[in-house]
């Protein structure tokens, strides 16, 4: 066999793979395959169990009521996504492309609500806007208003999810705006179009892919949300599944409804992938994109600031103020708050543990995908992203069924809970590690191997140190998401295990608002540590 000079030199291609070595060494290939298989195990079992269910379950599933629940879920998804786009696109444009005063500060402030979990938002909406809530009391005192319009049901669910999830659209659209080629806009302006016309006919159409991507993220978030819709009594699929799970003796219906939820999530993902393939926007020249000049706002800067301030007020300032009010009230009323320390510790260590496991599990998959691309690597990558599409409640139910039938010692063990977190949040960490790995040239590693190191040894001494910050960012994200996760923790938590998330939940459902507020505040504080790390890292050059 003739030696190919390229394989002798092992010239890396631009994607960071090692040419001529598509077979990964066993210490990489075997764990990567195992991780990928573990990711799909729960959902496969759920499908098997549902398909094997008796006709009685199918009758229950195909009732008009199921359709009603699906339609209600769709209504919320569509309206929340649309509202988020309307809210976020102007914010993105103002903070990226105009000379809005303090625009960097505004950019941070308007993206912060993403750290507030939906169930905390919902509980704050109930204490603030609920019947006999704080606003009602104030209005009654000032204007003797007897009754506010009902916040339970659709209005509350819509409001809480919109105010907390618009940052998803904001972040994707801002990224889209940064990458936008300014020359198209300039051409439009040079041809005599006004600013508004240019915005609507040139800028907005180019932003379509990022708007769609953001809206679909919001859709997925709304679909899998459990806390807000349950607290605000808007019965979507996740809420129905949980009520079924909690109150029914036969859990097969919950399993069947979960499959409906999975199908809806997959449809959203397919739609997202479809739009990504359909929209292709290229710059007019192959050269580097030029940053667009900032649009002067002139006297419009005052209403623009007012708009930003309004959004920050509604989605961040008021919620935090209410939270603090109830915390103070809670501590002054001598209500026992001792529960909160145990919950904080549980939250912290289970999140740290799952972040560590996730980072370790994601590493071989990332290496396999980036360094040894092949058909199999591609399949492994796809499988590892499965958790991204699956709502926490479905993973939790799947694991309950699986362990109570096949591995009962694991049932309600910490191990199982951590496993659920790994399935749910590995995709996020994987994305971060994979992106970092792509930026590291395999040349150095190859040099080490040329000097006699084994592939694994070379990777350990050369790439791991360079990859450190990517791994930490991935782990930080996983930590944050684990900390906030509610339904999986509620369902799979071991004996007597309470975290901050479950404390907020149980206190809020018992209408013990002061306790819920204290746990919420701690949750937001503890999660802001990794969040700060991620933001800080994102702002560093390179």
Instruction: List interacting residues with another protein (CB under 8 A).
Output: 60, 65, 69, 130-132, 152, 230, 233, 235, 239-240, 243-251, 353, 356-357, 360, 400-401, 404-405, 408-409, 411-415, 418, 457, 460-462, 464-465, 494-496, 498, 506, 509-512
In the complex, what is the shortest distance from the CB of residue 192 to another protein, in angstroms, rounded to a whole number? 58
- List, as one string, the DSSP characters of 26-66: HHHHHHHHHHHHHHHHHHHHHHHHHHTS-HHHHHHHTSHHH
In the complex, what is the shortest distance from the CB of residue 438 to another protein, in angstroms, rounded to a whole number? 21
For residue 514, give the H/E element and its range. Answer: helix 513-539
Nearer to another protein, 105 or 456 (CB): 456
Nearer to another protein, 40 or 415 (CB): 415
Can you say how many angstroms the Cα of residue 236 is from the centroid of all Cα atoms in its chain? 19
Judge whether 216 and 163 are in contact, CB under 8 Å: no
Judge whether 514 and 530 are in contact, CB under 8 Å: no
Task: Tell me how far apart the alpha carbons of residues 224 and 216 are, in angstroms, rounded to a whole number.
Answer: 12
In the complex, what is the shortest distance from the CB of residue 231 to another protein, in angstroms, rounded to a whole number? 8
Can you say how many angstroms the Cα of residue 194 is from the centroid of all Cα atoms in its chain? 38
In the complex, what is the shortest distance from the CB of residue 378 to another protein, in angstroms, rounded to a whole number? 27
Cross-strand partners of 98 = 295
Nearer to another protein, 245 or 326 (CB): 245
Can you say how many angstroms the Cα of residue 156 is from the centroid of all Cα atoms in its chain? 21
In the complex, what is the shortest distance from the CB of residue 522 to another protein, in angstroms, rounded to a whole number? 18
Nearer to another protein, 279 or 411 (CB): 411
Task: Tell me how far apart the alpha carbons of residues 460 and 377 are, in angstroms, rounded to a whole number.
Answer: 21
Instruction: Using alpha carbons, list the distances in angstroms from residue 100 to 87, 96, 108, 311.
Output: 17, 9, 14, 15
In the complex, what is the shortest distance from the CB of residue 344 to another protein, in angstroms, rounded to a whole number? 16
In the complex, what is the shortest distance from the CB of residue 540 to another protein, in angstroms, rounded to a whole number? 22
Nearer to another protein, 514 or 521 (CB): 514
- Quickly count: other Cβ atoms within 10 Å of residue 468's Cβ: 11
- The rounded radius of gyration (Å) of the Cα atoms in the chain is 25
What's the first-to-final CA gap in the chain, in angstroms? 43
Nearer to another protein, 15 or 468 (CB): 468
Nearer to another protein, 175 or 460 (CB): 460
In the complex, what is the shortest distance from the CB of residue 512 to another protein, in angstroms, rounded to a whole number? 8
Cβ neighbourhood burial of 385 (10 Å; 0-12, 13-18, 19+)? middle
Nearer to another protein, 142 or 495 (CB): 495
Nearer to another protein, 239 or 262 (CB): 239
Alpha helical stretches, state H, 16-153:
26-51, 55-61, 64-97, 103-111, 118-129, 134-143
Q: Which phi and psi angles does 337 have, rounded to 5°?
A: -115, 10
In the complex, what is the shortest distance from the CB of residue 165 to another protein, in angstroms, rounded to a whole number? 23
Judge whether 395 and 487 are in contact, CB under 8 Å: no
Nearer to another protein, 5 or 496 (CB): 496
Task: Tell me how far apart the alpha carbons of residues 493 and 212 are, in angstroms, rounded to a whole number.
Answer: 36
Nearer to another protein, 279 or 339 (CB): 339
For the record, the structure tokens of 52 come out as 């094997």
- Quickly count: other Cβ atoms within 10 Å of residue 364's Cβ: 21
Question: Three-state secondary structure along 240-256?
Answer: HHHHHHHHCCCCHHHHH
Judge whether 323 and 523 are in contact, CB under 8 Å: no
């Amino acid at each position: 066999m003739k030696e190919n000079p390229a394989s002798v030199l092992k010239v890396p291609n631009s994607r960071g793979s090692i040419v001529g070595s598509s077979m990964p060494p066993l210490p990489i290939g075997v764990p990567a395959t195992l991780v990928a298989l573990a990711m799909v195990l729960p959902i496969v079992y759920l499908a098997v169990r549902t398909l094997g269910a008796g006709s009685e379950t199918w009758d229950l599933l195909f009732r008009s009521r199921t359709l009603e629940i699906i339609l209600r879920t769709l209504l919320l998804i569509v309206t929340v996504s649309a509202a988020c786009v309307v809210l976020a696109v102007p914010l993105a444009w103002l903070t990226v492309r105009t000379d809005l005063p303090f625009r960097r500060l505004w950019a941070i402030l308007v993206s912060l609500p993403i750290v507030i979990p939906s169930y905390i938002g919902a509980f704050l909406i109930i204490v603030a806007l609920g019947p006999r809530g704080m606003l009602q009391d104030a209005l009654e005192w000032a204007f003797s208003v007897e009754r506010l319009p009902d916040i339970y049901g659709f209005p509350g669910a819509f409001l809480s999810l919109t105010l907390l999830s618009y940052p998803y659209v904001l972040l994707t659209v801002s990224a889209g705006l940064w990458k936008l080629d300014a020359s198209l806009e300039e051409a439009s302006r040079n041809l005599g179009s006004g600013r508004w016309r240019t915005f609507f006919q040139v800028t907005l159409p180019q932003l379509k892919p990022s708007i769609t991507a953001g809206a679909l993220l919001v859709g997925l978030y709304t679909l899998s949300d459990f806390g807000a819709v349950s607290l605000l009594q808007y019965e979507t699929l996740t809420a129905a599944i949980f009520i079924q799970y909690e109150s029914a003796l036969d859990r097969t219906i919950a399993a069947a409804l979960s499959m409906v939820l999975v199908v809806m999530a997959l449809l959203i993902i397919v739609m997202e992938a479809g739009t990504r393939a359909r929209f292709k926007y290229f710059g007019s020249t192959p050269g580097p994109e030029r940053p667009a000049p900032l649009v002067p706002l002139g006297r419009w800067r005052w209403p623009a600031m007012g708009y930003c301030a309004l959004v920050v007020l509604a989605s961040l300032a008021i919620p935090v103020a209410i939270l603090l009010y109830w915390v103070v009230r809670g501590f002054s009323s001598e209500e026992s708050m001792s529960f909160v320390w145990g919950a904080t510790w549980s939250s912290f260590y289970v999140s740290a543990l799952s972040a560590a496991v996730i980072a370790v599990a994601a590493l071989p998959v990332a290496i396999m995908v980036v360094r040894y691309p092949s058909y199999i690597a591609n399949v492994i990558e796809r499988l590892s992203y499965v958790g991204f599409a699956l709502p926490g409640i479905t993973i939790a139910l799947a694991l309950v069924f699986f362990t109570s039938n096949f591995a009962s010692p694991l049932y309600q063990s910490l191990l199982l809970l951590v496993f659920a977190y790994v399935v749910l949040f590995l995709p996020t960490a994987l994305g971060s590690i994979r992106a970092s790995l792509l930026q590291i040239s395999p040349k150095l590693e190859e040099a080490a191997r040329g000097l006699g190191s084994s592939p694994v040894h070379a990777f350990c001494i050369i790439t791991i140190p360079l990859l450190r910050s990517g791994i930490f960012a991935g782990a930080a994200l996983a930590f944050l998401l684990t900390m906030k996760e509610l339904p999986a923790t509620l369902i799979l938590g071991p004996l007597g295990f309470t975290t901050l998330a479950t404390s907020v939940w149980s206190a809020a459902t018992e209408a013990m608002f002061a306790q819920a507020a204290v746990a919420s505040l701690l949750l937001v504080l503890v999660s802001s540590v990794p969040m700060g790390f991620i933001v800080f890292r994102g702002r560093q050059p390179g």
